[in-house]
Amino acid sequence: MPDDDLRLLKEARHGDESSFLILYRRYRMPLFRFAWRLTGSTAAAEDVLQECFLALIEGARFDADRGSLRAYLFGIARNLALKRIRLAERESEELEDTEADLNPLENLLSAERSEVVARAVVALPPFQREVIVLFEYEELSLEEIAEVAGTEVGAVKARLHRARETLRRRLAPLIAARA
Amino acid sequence: MKEHDPLNSVLREWKAPEPSSAVDARVRAAYRSMHRPSLWRRIWSAQVTVPVPVLAAALLLLAPVLWLQFRSQTPAPQPATVTPAGTGYMTRIETAGFKPLPDGATRVIRSGGWKQ
């Protein structure tokens, strides 16, 4: 974690726009990617990104002794994204039967590979999805993920293991083609 | 957990897009609205950009006006006042009831001849 995060945050909270922009540019992409992979929507991910930074500046409690600013920001983004996922699920009662739709062989023929992977990851339960995204794509440590998700490292490991097993099963044809 | 697992390379196939530049502008605008400086601060830090030729022309026009204004306000020279050289005593004359002599006539009084 960059050492100057805390100083920049203090300055940004006192109205220093240049400090705010340094922080924003530093975490803009990772937070957007994370929110996008959780929600599956660019618009939702952009909203999460904006709300995340405004919550940080508006005075969300950040304690540097308890963890990094990166983990803290991912925590805010996670809560905002999960809120949107729950809202979207409530709004559309008929959820896609993702398991049935994930016939890897058909997808291999009809869609691009990234699409297949995306659908496989998005089809995971939210708690497994966030862990796999943070670990595989954003390269957070298990400890940091535990901090973001507000759980124990052991629980993170278990979720990660289950997520990987599910993905291995769903993406077996792609994995076999690579091997 | 991650090394040599073909699942990892398959997962990397899923690329994320870039956020739009519109969201950057939105975030910046939201930050500015949260930290809008006070009126006094804005006045104090206000800046005006003036092209050099315009500034030079303005100064050329202003300089004669200011010079004339300065000249008209310069006070007229006052007569010089004589102040006593020493710091000794000062004589005060009570002029109440003073009557000037008629026709400016003068009367010479000899020394020691004055009687009230």
Can you spell out the DSSP letters for A64-113?
A: GGGS-HHHHHHHHHHHHHHHHHHHHHHH--S---HHHH--HHHHHHHS-H
pLDDT of residue B88: 65
Nearest chain A CA: its distance from B50 CA (Å): 26
pTM of the model as a whole: 0.65
Task: For chain B, state the CA radius of gyration.
Answer: 45
Which of A27, A54, A112, A153 should one mutate to test binding to chain B, selecting the residue with the greatest count of B CBs within 10 A? A54
The ipTM value here is 0.74
Among A21, A36, A53, beta carbon nearest to B16: A36
Nearest chain B CA: its distance from A123 CA (Å): 14
B-side interface with A, Cβ within 8 Å? 1-2, 6-11, 13-20, 22-24, 26-28, 30-32, 34-35, 37
Class of domain A97-179: mainly alpha
Domain residue spans of chain A: 1-95, 97-179
Q: Does A179 touch chain B (CB under 8 A)?
A: yes
Residues of B in contact with A179 (CB under 8 A): 6
Residue B11 to residue A45, Cβ atoms within 8 A: no
A1-95 and A97-179 in the same fold:
no
pLDDT digits (tens, 9 = 90+) for B58-77: 999 999 999 988 888 766 66
Residues of B in contact with A167 (CB under 8 A): 7, 11
pLDDT digits (tens, 9 = 90+) for B44-59: 878 888 899 999 999 9
Class of domain A1-95: mainly alpha
Average model confidence (pLDDT) across chain B: 78
Residues B2-12 as b or e (16 or more Cβ within 10 Å = b): eeeeebeebbe
pLDDT digits (tens, 9 = 90+) for A53-93: 998 888 767 777 778 889 999 999 999 998 888 877 776 64
